[in-house]
Chain A
Amino acid sequence: MIAELGQIALILALAMAVLLATVPLVGAWRGDERLMRLAPSLVAGHFVFALAAWLALVAAFLNHDFSVINVALNSNLLLPWYYRISASWGSHEGSLLLWILMLAGWMLAVVVFSRSLPKPFLTRVLSVMGMVSIGFLLFTLLTSNPFDRVLPGPPDGQDLNPLLQDPGMIFHPPLLYMGYVGFAVAFGFAIAGLLGGRVERDWVRWSRPWTLSAWAFLTAGITLGSWWAYYELGWGGWWFWDPVENASFIPWLIGTALIHSQAVTEKRGAFAAWTILLSIAAFSMSLLGTFLVRSGVLTSVHAFAHDPDRGLFILAFMGIVTGGALLLYALRAPRIATGEGFDWLSRESLLLLNNVFFAVSAAMVLLGTLYPLIVDFMGWGQISVGPPYFGAMFILLMTPIVLLMPLGPYTRWRQDKPQRVLHPLIKAAIFAIVGGIVISLLLGAWNMRAVTGWIGGLWLAAGALGWLWGQKQSIRGRLPRHQIGMALAHAGAGVFVIGVAMVESTTLERDVRVAPGETVTVAGLNFHLEEVASVKGPNWIADEARFSVQRDDREITRMHPQKRRYHRGGQVMTQVALRPGPLRDLYVAMGEPLGDDGAWSIRIHIKPFIRWIWAGALLMTLGGLLSATDRRYWRTQRAQAGRPERSPIGQEALA
């Protein structure tokens, strides 16, 4: 019964979306206040029904309603309640429902926080987002209905993939989708701007906090996915250049370019067309990611159930959304003014370089991801593009970004002098070079990659924080949040660079045979295997190796890696034992049983500074969120409410 209510709610949400995409849009076109005023109510209704549908699915999971096929395939009686909730978005169908709920949530947020936008503009934004929602609702209802029934239902379900039975997996998809879907807001703003026929600096300012928060959520989601892969997959890596990871990384790269180009457009009016194009691209790449994951076009470890019909549907949808947007862009963009000019050294030129490098990176990742397809298409045989391609390319493209990033904030708009920009950075540069060399020596990580990583990372962090300190000295009162946010995010990039350089250059890995009672020594630490015991969990049994880790005969920690076998499905899973630390992670995983004396093959890793990778990404996330909450973006919006639209840089400026 509850599932049927969910189904009905979903259909009603579709009805709301259809009305939203048409009626208020006509109102905005004709200037009819009454029709435009419908939009907020329709958005609210759309959200309520999407929420009801989602809650119905969660209820079906919590109640063990196995007559719902999706529940029967992804849950069972032994699954704890919190994984039953997360199982509701573990499958293809359920994750689409979450997508829809989040889109509805973002729309509601736009209504609540941006209600002071000019009516016709806000209406267009909401209508465009309603169109996007129609596509996803139709996709769900027609090809991937989570509420399909089988009667009579089986007495017990299959299992949720054990890989997904993990706290990291509860939060990874929602955060990632928050980011993906959040770019729909920037997309809505861009299309609304094109539809309105003029590009306003104002609306770029209004769309900035939305883009920043979407970007921050995407950063957090990718970080969580990387962290999860690290401890759960048992491979000891943190990034695999898998097509599905790339699918989330491409929108991130474009989003990074977008938040920077928006700054230029808002402040100087330049890059207006480019900002619109990036807004379209960021959301389109989110759609492309959805397509790649669910169509079976590329093979990946993250496979959802593959179905070519679904692939065709998303592709058609993407064709309409992106194709339509780009056509509109081609028609309207020529009328967008180019904004004010700038000198070779100026904040504009540095941000232009930022955009070039990030856009090229995104294109390279896209090319690498689709390359197997291109090669196959051309009949050149079959090739898989691996980490070497991506790794080499990224070092090449990121080096200039690292070098130039600290210069950005110091540089003035329009034009500046090299001495003025470089002077305050000399200290940071000296600090980075000396510090990098000294730290690498102290850590015993004396190799090219570690040293350059430290120098680069310290350069970024010192450059960003030094700039913030300078700001603090030069202005009275509190620093604006967007400045703190930016410095935090840039420093976070530095922390990230250090983490990557250390992990990639000085990780220790040993695969050894250990019997109970034996001791292995790695990097001065003694790993003593006391016993291999049998343990039971709610829905699995496991062999558990009990290690005592000692330094100089003193126990510093105990580690208990497991090899789990799940009751349903019988999947065997490696549960890694991790001792995280700020300077190094200890990582012990069980391989396979060897021989009769109870020996196992054991994998021991010592990973220096790996936490810094995620800590850096977390700082970027915080920086993004902090910037998004800056009063500047919101206050201006309120202050200008009710005033006529002003400072156009579109038609009038050209005419």
Chain B
Amino acid sequence: MIRMLIPLGVFVGLVALLIVGLQTAEQRKIVASPLIGKPVPDIRLPGLHDPDMVRGVAELRGQPFILNVWGSWCWACRVEHPFIERLGREAGVPLVGFNWKDERADALAWLNRYGDAWSFHLVDFEGRAAIDLGVYGAPETFLVDHQGVVRHKHVGPIDAPVFDDLMRRVLALRMEAES
């Protein structure tokens, strides 16, 4: 009898894991990555428009910046795009595009169509740098302060409330940088 309960026990464990998974799927949007409070990884990647020009986030040291993970294949990125444009106009800090697992032509066509609101793009076709960043999926948005420390991460598309929240946080980071 006890032996026969083993499959049930295993199954209960599985369900428990999945329940936790479901809940953290919710939480992942709010709390975020182990990177928070730690320096942003020193990512150096080719640009999108000019593949020969390798750029890195290190060159932004001294000012806060926003890093936004996107891809032309990512449906939700299109949803958040109006807010990306507003961030580009209103945030007053560099907005770095992190083009993830994309094809160059697709990404350029996407930008042509919807508009390029980012300051510049880093290209991670193979998704290696994304692993260092702990990217769950596109879109994702990181806030990094002037000392290069990751301060906040939002997983999922930006909507109006998230946008307001991000703007408040960016403002705080800018004031921190100036003082």
Q: Say yes or no: A330 contacts B15, CB within 8 Å.
A: no
Q: State A261–B11 Cα separation when bound (angstroms).
A: 21
Q: Say yes or no: A572 contacts B22, CB within 8 Å.
A: no
B120 interface residue (CB < 8 Å to A): no
Q: Say yes or no: A334 contacts B1, CB within 8 Å.
A: yes
Q: Which residues of B contact A (CB under 8 A)?
A: 1, 4-5, 7-8, 11-12, 14-15, 17-22, 24-26, 33-34, 72, 103-106, 108-110, 113-114, 131, 134, 136-137
Q: Say yes or no: B7 contacts A297, CB within 8 Å.
A: no
- List the B side residues contacting A318 at CB < 8 Å: 15
Given contacts A277-B7, A318-B15, A377-B24, contact A572 B1 (CB under 8 A): no
Q: Say yes or no: A297 contacts B22, CB within 8 Å.
A: yes
Q: State A617–B99 Cα separation when bound (angstroms).
A: 37
Q: A315-B15, A572-B72, A572-B109 are in contact. List 14 more A-B contacts (CB 8 A).
A: A280-B7, A284-B11, A297-B18, A298-B21, A308-B25, A308-B26, A326-B11, A327-B8, A329-B7, A330-B7, A370-B17, A382-B131, A570-B113, A570-B114
Chain A residue with Cβ nearest B72: A572
Q: Say yes or no: B1 contacts A373, CB within 8 Å.
A: no
- List the A side residues contacting B5 at CB < 8 Å: 330
A291 interface residue (CB < 8 Å to B): yes
Q: Say yes or no: A326 contacts B8, CB within 8 Å.
A: yes
Q: Say yes or no: A296 contacts B4, CB within 8 Å.
A: no
Question: What would be 25 A-B contacts, judged by CB atoms less than 8 Å apart?
Answer: A291-B18, A299-B137, A312-B22, A315-B19, A319-B15, A323-B11, A326-B11, A327-B8, A330-B4, A330-B7, A334-B1, A373-B18, A373-B21, A374-B17, A376-B21, A376-B24, A377-B24, A382-B33, A382-B131, A382-B134, A572-B106, A574-B103, A591-B105, A592-B103, A592-B108
Q: State A189–B20 Cα separation when bound (angstroms).
A: 32
- List the A side residues contacting B19 at CB < 8 Å: 315
Q: State A347–B108 Cα separation when bound (angstroms).
A: 60
Q: Say yes or no: A330 contacts B8, CB within 8 Å.
A: yes
A593 interface residue (CB < 8 Å to B): yes
A538 interface residue (CB < 8 Å to B): no
A483 interface residue (CB < 8 Å to B): no
**Minimum CB–CB distance for B4 against chain A, Å:** 4
How many A residues touch the partner, as a band?
35 or more
A381 interface residue (CB < 8 Å to B): yes
- List the A side residues contacting B110 at CB < 8 Å: 570, 572
A563 interface residue (CB < 8 Å to B): yes
- List the A side residues contacting B24 at CB < 8 Å: 376-377
Q: State A299–B130 Cα separation when bound (angstroms).
A: 14
From B7, B19, B21, residue with most partner A Cβ within 10 Å: B21
- Top 9 A-B residue pairs of the complex, sorted by shortest distance between their CB atoms: A592-B105, A326-B8, A299-B137, A330-B4, A297-B21, A592-B104, A373-B21, A330-B5, A572-B106
Given contacts A326-B11, A572-B72, contact A311 B106 (CB under 8 A): no
Q: Which residues of A contact B (CB under 8 A)?
A: 273, 277, 280-281, 284, 288, 291, 295-299, 306, 308, 311-312, 315, 318-319, 322-323, 326-327, 329-331, 333-334, 370, 373-374, 376-377, 381-382, 384, 563, 565, 570-572, 574, 590-593
Q: Which of B4, B14, B15 contacts A334 (CB 8 A)?
A: B4
Q: Which of A296, A322, A565 contacts B109 (CB 8 A)?
A: A565
Q: Say yes or no: B22 contacts A315, CB within 8 Å.
A: yes
- List the A side residues contacting B137 at CB < 8 Å: 299
Q: State A609–B128 Cα separation when bound (angstroms).
A: 31
- List the A side residues contacting B8 at CB < 8 Å: 323, 326-327, 329-330
**Minimum CB–CB distance for B120 against chain A, Å:** 18
Q: Say yes or no: B113 contacts A563, CB within 8 Å.
A: no
**Minimum CB–CB distance for B15 against chain A, Å:** 5
- List the A side residues contacting B25 at CB < 8 Å: 295-297, 306, 308, 311
Q: State A298–B24 Cα separation when bound (angstroms).
A: 11
- List the B side residues contacting A330 at CB < 8 Å: 1, 4-5, 7-8
Chain B residue with Cβ nearest A377: B20
Q: Say yes or no: A593 contacts B105, CB within 8 Å.
A: yes
**Minimum CB–CB distance for B32 against chain A, Å:** 11
- List the A side residues contacting B22 at CB < 8 Å: 295, 297, 308, 311-312, 315
- List the A side residues contacting B114 at CB < 8 Å: 570
Q: Say yes or no: A381 contacts B7, CB within 8 Å.
A: no
Q: State A571–B7 Cα separation when bound (angstroms).
A: 46
- List the B side residues contacting A295 at CB < 8 Å: 22, 25
**Minimum CB–CB distance for B98 against chain A, Å:** 16
- List the A side residues contacting B12 at CB < 8 Å: 323
**Minimum CB–CB distance for A191 against chain B, Å:** 14
**Minimum CB–CB distance for B6 against chain A, Å:** 9
- List the A side residues contacting B1 at CB < 8 Å: 330, 334
- List the B side residues contacting A308 at CB < 8 Å: 22, 25-26
**Minimum CB–CB distance for B38 against chain A, Å:** 11
**Minimum CB–CB distance for A98 against chain B, Å:** 22
**Minimum CB–CB distance for B100 against chain A, Å:** 11
Q: State A563–B17 Cα separation when bound (angstroms).
A: 42
Q: State A192–B11 Cα separation when bound (angstroms).
A: 21
Q: Say yes or no: A563 contacts B105, CB within 8 Å.
A: yes
**Minimum CB–CB distance for B122 against chain A, Å:** 17
**Minimum CB–CB distance for B77 against chain A, Å:** 12
Q: State A327–B4 Cα separation when bound (angstroms).
A: 9
Q: State A315–B1 Cα separation when bound (angstroms).
A: 26
Q: Which of A281, A323, A565 contacts B15 (CB 8 A)?
A: A323
Q: State A427–B114 Cα separation when bound (angstroms).
A: 66
- List the B side residues contacting A297 at CB < 8 Å: 18, 21-22, 25
- List the B side residues contacting A326 at CB < 8 Å: 7-8, 11
Q: Say yes or no: B15 contacts A381, CB within 8 Å.
A: no
- List the B side residues contacting A373 at CB < 8 Å: 17-18, 20-21
**Minimum CB–CB distance for B5 against chain A, Å:** 5
Q: State A576–B131 Cα separation when bound (angstroms).
A: 29
Q: State A88–B7 Cα separation when bound (angstroms).
A: 37
Given contacts A373-B17, A574-B103, contact A329 B108 (CB under 8 A): no
**Minimum CB–CB distance for A555 against chain B, Å:** 28
- List the B side residues contacting A331 at CB < 8 Å: 4
Chain A residue with Cβ nearest B7: A326
Q: State A247–B108 Cα separation when bound (angstroms).
A: 34
Q: Say yes or no: B18 contacts A315, CB within 8 Å.
A: yes
Chain A residue with Cβ nearest B10: A326
Q: State A563–B108 Cα separation when bound (angstroms).
A: 13
Q: State A211–B19 Cα separation when bound (angstroms).
A: 30
**Minimum CB–CB distance for A509 against chain B, Å:** 15
- List the B side residues contacting A333 at CB < 8 Å: 4
Q: State A571–B105 Cα separation when bound (angstroms).
A: 12
Q: State A127–B144 Cα separation when bound (angstroms).
A: 58
